[in-house]
Structure 1
């Protein structure tokens, strides 16, 4: 329990799972620090006093930031593209600070070159998910974006939209984007937020993007994030997602879930479903 609690307040390193013929690996790019009361406005000081294990020494939530590498044979796909070589800070609001830059080094540690990545499939187009796609590192790759997300590209900075547009292919709900990987569109966090369901070896993994920002939301699916575009819609979807992640042979990947990015939900009594990390 002590080790689990420590993992809730630190960013993740490289972690991998095997799903039959498919390998999935979290590729770190950096970390984000969040103000808990601003991120989850339905929480109170009492909430976090009861769950101090989620907070770092300065009282912030720690979120990982990176990508999911999906490998099938010699082929390689990234889901999302991290923050990129950037640093963000904000004096107020949910975001305290964010820093990226480690993704090239992380790929190298996994024996992968950037040119090995044939495509990047985005959950959505927020800066902490598309960073390296706007850099030369991934300029060769195809960018897979849900159709409604790309239709709302006017919300992007013009330079970002221009960088992505050279390589974009829009995808629709149910499309198989890679062997064993299908997209499903679940609006709420953004207009066209996408999740990716990866199946193999009798198990499935749901890479759910920002449908949840913290493992604590597994027990409280009604708690929407300040970053969510449509709070009621994302809360309704999160209730369905929590039910799925509680099913046998179903795992989740939460890109922002500190050092417990892979896991599933199991009932721990009266407190509701709790996130249990899975490391193999």
Structure 2
């Protein structure tokens, strides 16, 4: 696996990711882009300061926002295919002054999947890290020209504690999404293998039942850590929780352990919102742990 120059990495922090793939043994994992969201940095990470961002301008776009990619992770083993998360779906929303969110857009996922040589019907299961709108989109929106979601043929795998809390989500304006998911949901438990070499790991903090997926093939493993981390800057500052974290203290405690784990040999991470550096490893430099982007 090859890394990129410091200049290229800085540019990639300010743009959404395109399709990117890496190999773990005989398993291919690919980021499937759907869109992006722009995040006000101090609104999203409220424990930061203006001084922090003045010293880290390389993380911000021309408008001063963090760039967060939105999409899914395609896991392929031979002819079999699993999708983790489902993007935002065919919609665009303007900035919401009531939340720490700028403009958010989706819609590219099915085309991205086709570029990777896969059709929706090739996906045998759709696994979710958690039940937030930017991870559910294509699981409940009707497919273009149809009246059912594109992945309605597949099992929707949701962690048991996450699904048990669905009424809270419905009470916060997500009743339509939860109703749309319900006919297809099958709950999964901590440690369960859901696909060859893919195990669920429940790591509540961002949500009450947030899940990670540990993918192992050959001598390598990849941790798809969902929204445990939203930006590579949190690798060096795991104490910075996102404004939307369900339990900021629990979330920060988990991030500290996760960063340490990502330093282990032959261990890679997948950060679904990590701009255009979605695959990487954690390596220490003179300033502490840092995210080192990795490409096939």
| TM bracket, shorter-chain basis | over 0.9
**Aligned partners of 1:88, 1:251: CA distance in 2, in Å?**
33
**Aligned partners of 1:256, 1:64: CA distance in 2, in Å?**
5
Q: CA deviation at 1:113?
A: 0.5
Q: CA deviation at 1:93?
A: 3.3
**Please, which of 169, 177, 202 is the counterpart of residue 160 of structure 1?**
177
TM-score (norm 1): 0.98
Q: CA deviation at 1:88?
A: 2.1
Which residue is 1:93 aligned to?
A: 99
SS at match of 1:225: coil
Instruction: Provide Cα deviations, 1:210-259, integer angstroms capped at 9, x if missing partner.
Output: 00000000000111000100000000000000000111110000000000
Which residue is 1:128 aligned to?
A: 134
Instruction: Provide Cα deviations, 1:125-154, integer angstroms capped at 9, x if missing partner.
Output: 000001000022111111000000000111
Instruction: Provide Cα deviations, 1:15-34, integer angstroms capped at 9, x if missing partner.
Output: 00111121100000001100
Which residue is 1:244 aligned to?
A: 261
**Please, which of 60, 69, 80 is the counterpart of residue 64 of structure 1?**
69
Q: CA deviation at 1:163?
A: 1.2
Which residue is 1:267 aligned to?
A: 284
Q: Superposition pairs for residues 29-48 of structure 1, below 5 Å?
A: 29-48=34-53
Which residue is 1:277 aligned to?
A: 293
**Would you say how many aligned residue pairs link Structure 1 and Structure 2?**
279
Instruction: Provide Cα deviations, 1:87-133, integer angstroms capped at 9, x if missing partner.
Output: 12213532011100000100111110111011110000000001000
Instruction: Provide Cα deviations, 1:65-90, integer angstroms capped at 9, x if missing partner.
Output: 00000001111100000000111221
Consecutive unaligned residues of structure 1, counting only runs of 5 or more, are none
Q: Please say if 1:204 is aligned against 2:221.
A: yes
Consecutive unaligned residues of structure 2, counting only runs of 5 or more, are 1-5, 142-148
**Aligned partners of 2:275, 2:64: CA distance in 1, in Å?**
14
**Aligned partners of 1:162, 1:94: CA distance in 2, in Å?**
26
TM-score (norm 2): 0.93
**Aligned partners of 2:219, 2:254: CA distance in 1, in Å?**
25
Q: CA deviation at 1:159?
A: 1.9
Contact kept in structure 2, 1:221 and 1:239, CA below 8 Å: yes
